[in-house]
Amino acid sequence: MRRHMQVRHCVIPAAGLGTRFLPATKALPKELLPVLDRPVLQWGVEEAVAAGVDTMVVVTSRGKELLAAHFDAAPELERTLEARGKLDSLEAVRRATRLASFAYVYQPEPLGLGDAVRCAAAVVGDRPFGCLLPDDLSWGSKPVLAQLVDAHRELATPILALTRVPRERISRFGCAMVAESRGRLHRVTAVVEKPAPEDAPSDLAIMGRYVLTPAVMEALVAIGPGAGGEIQLTDGIGAVIGSTAVWGLEFEGELLDVGTLEGWLQTLVRAAAEHPGYGPALRRAMAGVSG
Ligand code: UTP
């Protein structure tokens, strides 16, 4: 087995403008929209904790101070809940604070995902790190980031989350060109950001979960704007292919979209339907919907 360092940090880019949810996200960060009883950002943090990560590095921006407030103590609220004997609510409020350590870094301008990730360079240091985009929820028995961390433990290389998509949808994603495969693991030989279906080197889309290495962070710090004038995370990953191996994992389970209004609605309905507490109420409500 190759030498690997434990993945201790998870970078969570959350500095975007959330324009697809306007006006709902004019004041409220889209990462705080709820799915059942907790905001989507907390779902992401819980997934990272389940992967063994102890420090969340949340990339934030001006006007999104509520992100930190959600994971901070709330002494007045906690005192009131305690005095009223609302111990379940008290426990739920405190749990968010105790999940992990939190560091917040600012991205001055939304220059792209690669730029958001490189804002975390000083906190992450010279170690491999997880990266999780909160606008997908991991759904399935083994959280996706934990699957990637397991693969990194074995291979000690960057690991990308891959899923097969119909060719006509590949232009919405980064796409991986792959060579040798070992079961669900594929060695990545190139990454192409949002290719036209006819130019796509495969049907393997790169999804928003990664284990990245110091070499990728160094490459990100060095690169300039790519497709769409943004600093692309895929360009940073592409820059290290050749000097280091990069692997992709066709993960098990699903990633459910909460980054668009339609995706968020579908995820909310699915999560409620599968929940023993909320399922019956949802089915009663749906029975009253015509069409
Ligand atoms: P998205 O492109 O889905 O987020 O990026 P967005 O830009 O907020 O969304 P729309 O298109 O305007 O509706 C995926 C994740 O990366 C973060 C976002 O906050 C989101 O969690 N991100 C994106 C950054 O942190 N910085 C950026 O420059 C871009």
Could you read off the pLDDT of 3-22 as tens digits, one per residue? 678 999 999 999 999 999 99
Distances from the Cα of 277 to the Cα of 255, 272, 284, angstroms = 23, 8, 13
Domain ranges of the chain: 9-259, 263-291
14 CA → ligand 1 middle, Å: 6
pLDDT at 143 over 90: yes
Fold of 9-259: Spore Coat Polysaccharide Biosynthesis Protein SpsA; Chain A (3.90.550)
pLDDT per residue as tens digits for the range 27-67: 999 999 999 999 999 999 999 999 999 999 999 999 999 99
Query: How many A from CA of 44 to the centre of ligand 1?
Result: 15
Nearest to 175 by CA among 199, 148, 151, 202: 202
Distance 130 CA to ligand 1 centre (A): 17
Give the mean pLDDT of 173-188. 95
Asked if residue 101 has pLDDT above 70, the reply is yes
For residue 171, the CA-to-ligand 1 centroid distance in Å is 17
Q: Tell me how far the alpha carbon of residue 58 lies from the centroid of ligand 1, in angstroms.
A: 13
> 148: part of which helix (H) or strand (E)?
helix 144-155
User: How far apart, in whole angstroms, are the C-alpha atoms of residue 28 and residue 233?
Assistant: 26
Enter the pTM of the model: 0.95
Q: pLDDT category, 1, cuts 50, 70, 90?
A: very low
| Closest C-alpha to ligand 1, atom 16 | 13
Pocket of ligand 1 (CB under 6 A): 13-20, 31, 59, 107, 110-113, 115-116, 133-135, 259
Q: Per-residue pLDDT averaged across 221-228, rounded? A: 86
Q: What is the pLDDT of residues 201-213, one digit of tens each?
A: 999 999 999 999 9
- Is pLDDT at 106 greater than 50 in this prediction? yes
pLDDT at 227 over 80: no
Q: Residues 184-210, buried b or exposed e (16+ Cβ, 10 A)?
A: ebbbbbbbbbebeeeebebbbbbbbbb
Which of 26, 30, 257 is the best mutation target for the ligand 1 pocket, counting ligand atoms within 8 Å of the beta carbon and taking the most? 30
Given pLDDT bands bounded at 50, 70 and 90, which one contains residue 111? very high
Q: What is the mean pLDDT of residues 230-240?
A: 95
Ligand 1: atom nearest CA of 31 is 21
Token readout for 126 is: 């010279």
The Cα 199–Cα 116 span in angstroms is: 28
What does the pLDDT average to over 110-133? 97
Ranking 29-38, 164-173, 224-233, 258-267 by mean pLDDT, the lowest is 224-233
Atom 2 in ligand 1: which residue has the minimum CA distance? 16
